[in-house]
A and B are shown apart, each in its own frame.
Chain A
């Protein structure tokens, strides 16, 4: 990583949800603030800013990361996915998002972005998870509204639908 100076703004170039972005940030700016307030991608939420709640989860170069524990300059040259990039088009929901809606897997929706990003990533790699695997995996996310029951149900249902859509997978 290049040397940055604390009191200057630095140009950051990355791809977010398939689009190139270029913007400036101080080295100490958190990725959450950069996404939300510099780029206007307010779908990524902040619940704790210390890495426990999972609300800020995004995908950086194919890996899940806590945006609240990442500094904006760290994404230089990276490929980022956020909740805004999950739906196939603005007027359609993804299979996972639809499952969440059908199962009432969200109430206030504040934790939801992080959970969706995590599950989207997980289901792409683990097409046939058991309930206990999903529970284990989601242990890194806090939801205070739902009691998790409908979230787990939605995840299982989405996994099934995704498998059905890809019979050879």
Chain B
């Protein structure tokens, strides 16, 4: 049969998605109508990193008009079962805290009400008694058997510890000329889509079935996980996605526990329930990439050839091993040797639990964490051996003639010409000019550096790679897991119009456009005439566990399945047409909307006419040529399960990236400016060049953020400190330069169209490329992301104070603590002041924001106060205890406050000394703040605390008969101080 000339693929046609999105007619989850009677959920979350829940009092919340239900761990436990966990251990993972909270932001209660505003009102009325427990934040600390344990069922905080050995690494290390090592702490971050999570869930008791619409992105291997948790068979959990989704980058995989949680809430409330996550919830508690501590050693010959690698990786998955974790640690397993031909490899992989948000998919998924040490190491090898880094890279590359190349750990690199790609980048990217520019900058005394990164970008994950975490014995017992079914359906309607359905759940990647191009080429049509549906319905669509939009699988796998379905349909249509045109099926060709005899274009029929035949006249079509609807399931035979030697081809395709960049570091501010960035890609055959470019520039910008600005920072006690976009800094137009994109094409022999994935590569290559350039500029060795000015200032001008980090340890202990001291003068005598400090009525008038002060005992007060920090005002219950009373000279106060916005605790001492006719009051305090207020108000807290305390003493002074001596000037000073 003739293949029509390809002409749509490879063109950057305009996207069919765009007209609606540009005019405000997109249909995102929060744009869809809901059934009448739908209720709205708001979630109360833990302000503590680790605490036992002693009691939850929700009566007042339930009594609020408009509130339908309050759901807590007890209800969830009664109506569902624990989510499956990715390691073999007797531990549970609930979508809401059950008796204990293990991270800040963990759901504690769900209020369901007539609208979102009322549901949030209800949260304010729920009282929770927590008993704080010690928390472990740093992954290395979690290795210690004495660290506070998160899950007793594991008997430690180490969820998995596996070692792997390929080739003969010990011998290679013994024989090698040198050993070069790097140690890296990769931080926590996230790709934070601009649209947050959202879903509507409904439970039908008559059929014991759930119906959920959520902006979930797959993988649908989580569908059975959710169905099991909801205690229904898969066919009673109907899961749908809206037509549009506002970005995901892996992150929207993490909505799945909420599908279970809100499903249960809908069942408890007896009505459909809708929940839209807010940004604070998203940053605090949706999902994060893993942070990882890696020690990587290389056995190296004198000429820079790497003989062996030894990885020691400690993966921090947060407070629960939520499916599909610990997949982040294993996704790169088949390509741990990167673009290099390294025969010997040893790996130790440990997975630890800490009191932080559970981790999950995030663009790059395991790649950033692995390539950062690997490519830092390659730079170190060059430096230690006094070689050109590009030369070290070249000497170790997998040679072009070796493809498909089997890596030490079992990966099968499908195609490539790495040396040619690097040559192209060096020449077309202007490396020589960049080097001259660096030399010139350095001559002028500027801090300028060049970095390189070489990455093999895996795509189309083997669903079996995750089982590499199990021992061969455990795998045998569990049964084989492998492959990655991609699906596509093409249907012809009675008018001969073509519809396509893919279960690829796009979040802006233009799948509908590219699927139309693929079908148009196969059937000789214009893509405009093909309608593609990409929203998903588990009850109606063809799907499998690999469905969804992750591991950059669309172009390579789903696009391939669309192509195969189109070809199948075309084969049948050719037979239909052959009878009508009176030629052999092999003579039929499809072009320009017509089906015609090759060599005789006049002997032709309109495509629609042929395509409608099986509807209107099935009797005239042979049974095996009926052309109505074609569904293809496609998986690649190369995706085999792990072998008994733990070899795993973790991904089907392997693109190639070579990046280099020039950066300059400001000598005064220590800020990094990316002066030039070149990124060379080989992603196989390119189906839509503009979309490939979009994936690269988009991934590059996210990676730039990860390199320079973004971090999910925690205080050492586990408070989350990056709860707004003013704290978690995404790069804007002003920070993101335009990278130079270069490309070569070596088509994949393993995919139907020769395409490979391209979406994630720069998240793997760019952070380390920039870090290598910064290291080059500063002559630095150890460098951890993000490369913030405060971190680099240590290199530029000597050591400065560290800022909090995702490991929680680089910061000084108590980093989120507030300290302060001061003094004021009042005109009353020490005895009078003393009496005022102990008098409830006086306190009620001088404590800022106090509604009521109650004396519980002689030395104990309870107060209800409203405190505002920046724009955030909240009501707190405070308890204050007096101790070490030395009337009328000194008293110590300690106290705590809790409220919907978080908690605080502190202690202080007040000293009174007579001065003239009045009293000098001196005070000092230490306080710690946690919960929402720490996450969103961090930058404002010190100023706010000072302000409140000054207000207190100013009121005291006023009350004592005269304004505080320095009151006016203090207020003036305040105006000029502590600008956040």
Contacts and interface: CB of A to CB of B under 8 A. Distances in A.
Interface of A: 26, 28-29, 33, 36, 41-50, 52-53, 55, 82-84, 86-87, 90, 93, 97, 100-102, 104, 106-113, 116, 134-136, 138-152
A29 B245 CA distance: 25
Contacts of B690: 104, 150
Contact of B249 (A52, A135, A144): A144
B117 interface: yes
A139 B279 contact: no
A109 B244 contact: yes
B742 to A, nearest CB: 15
Contacts of A82: 24
A74 B726 CA distance: 25
A43 B192 contact: no
A36 B691 CA distance: 30
A146 B690 CA distance: 11
A49 B279 contact: yes
B733 A139 contact: yes
Given A36-B30, A101-B15, A107-B508, A146 B697 contact: yes
Given A107-B510, A109-B246, A139-B732, A52 B26 contact: no
- Of the listed residues B18, B19, B30, the one surrounded by the most CB atoms of chain A closer than 10 A to its CB is B18
Contacts of A83: 22-24
A144 B245 contact: no
A45 B279 CA distance: 13
Contacts of B694: 104, 107, 145-147, 150
Contacts of A113: 24
Contacts of B702: 144, 147
Contacts of A46: 30
Contacts of A107: 247, 508-510, 694, 698
Contacts of A145: 247, 508, 694, 698
A41 B244 CA distance: 16
A141 B871 CA distance: 21
B195 A116 contact: no
Interface in B230-253: 244-247, 249
Contacts of A144: 191-194, 247, 249, 698, 701-702, 730
17 contacts: A47-B194, A47-B279, A82-B24, A83-B22, A93-B23, A100-B22, A102-B14, A108-B193, A108-B244, A108-B508, A111-B194, A143-B194, A146-B697, A147-B699, A148-B697, A149-B697, A151-B733
A141 B509 CA distance: 20
- Of the listed residues A50, A93, A113, A151, the one surrounded by the most CB atoms of chain B closer than 10 A to its CB is A50
Contacts of A43: 23-26
B691 A104 contact: yes
A155 to B, nearest CB: 10
Contact of B24 (A42, A52, A141): A42
A45 B30 CA distance: 9
A48 B12 CA distance: 32
Contacts of A36: 30-31
A110 B18 contact: no
Interface in B25-82: 25-26, 28, 30-31
Contact of A29 (B117, B279, B725): B117
Contact of B732 (A90, A106, A138): A138
B760 to A, nearest CB: 13
A125 to B, nearest CB: 18
Contacts of B509: 107
Contacts of B191: 144
B23 A86 contact: yes
A108 B24 contact: no
A12 B194 CA distance: 30
B700 interface: yes
B734 A42 contact: no
A2 to B, nearest CB: 21
Interface in B703-757: 724-726, 730, 732-734, 736, 738-739
B21 interface: yes
B17 interface: yes
Nearest to B31: A42
Given A49-B279, A82-B24, A106 B700 contact: no
A55 B774 CA distance: 33
A76 B454 CA distance: 58
B472 to A, nearest CB: 41
Interface string B256-275: 00000000000000000000
B507 interface: yes
B278 interface: yes
Contacts of A111: 194, 246
Nearest to B726: A52
Given A108-B247, A112-B21, 10 more contacts: A46-B30, A55-B194, A90-B23, A97-B22, A101-B14, A107-B510, A109-B26, A134-B733, A139-B734, A151-B733
A149 B28 CA distance: 24
A149 B700 CA distance: 11
A153 B341 CA distance: 41
Contacts of B116: 33
Nearest to B276: A46
A82 to B, nearest CB: 7
Nearest to A138: B733
A101 B733 contact: no
A7 to B, nearest CB: 11
A149 B732 CA distance: 11
Nearest to B699: A147
A106 B195 contact: no
Contacts of A134: 733
Contacts of A33: 116
A50 B699 CA distance: 25
B193 A152 contact: no
Interface string B571-587: 00000000000000000
A141 B696 CA distance: 20
Interface in B97-152: 116-117
Contacts of B245: 108
B222 to A, nearest CB: 21
A163 B375 CA distance: 48
Nearest to A100: B22
B708 to A, nearest CB: 14
A116 B936 CA distance: 29
A141 B732 CA distance: 7
A45 B19 CA distance: 16
A45 B733 contact: no
Nearest to A55: B194
Contacts of B734: 135-136, 139
Nearest to B278: A49
A42 B871 CA distance: 27
Contacts of A102: 14
Contact of A147 (B26, B30, B697): B697
Nearest to A46: B30
A71 to B, nearest CB: 12
Nearest to A142: B730
Given A93-B19, A101-B18, A84 B278 contact: no
A33 B115 CA distance: 11
Contacts of A53: 194, 279, 725
Contacts of B693: 104, 150
B697 A142 contact: no
A143 B509 CA distance: 14
Nearest to B245: A108
Interface in B261-315: 278-279
A82 B25 CA distance: 12
A11 to B, nearest CB: 18
Nearest to A50: B724
Nearest to A135: B733
Interface in B851-876: 871
B22 A44 contact: no
Contacts of B193: 108, 110, 144
- Of the listed residues B14, B22, B31, B699, the one surrounded by the most CB atoms of chain A closer than 10 A to its CB is B22
A26 B116 CA distance: 13
A97 B278 CA distance: 28
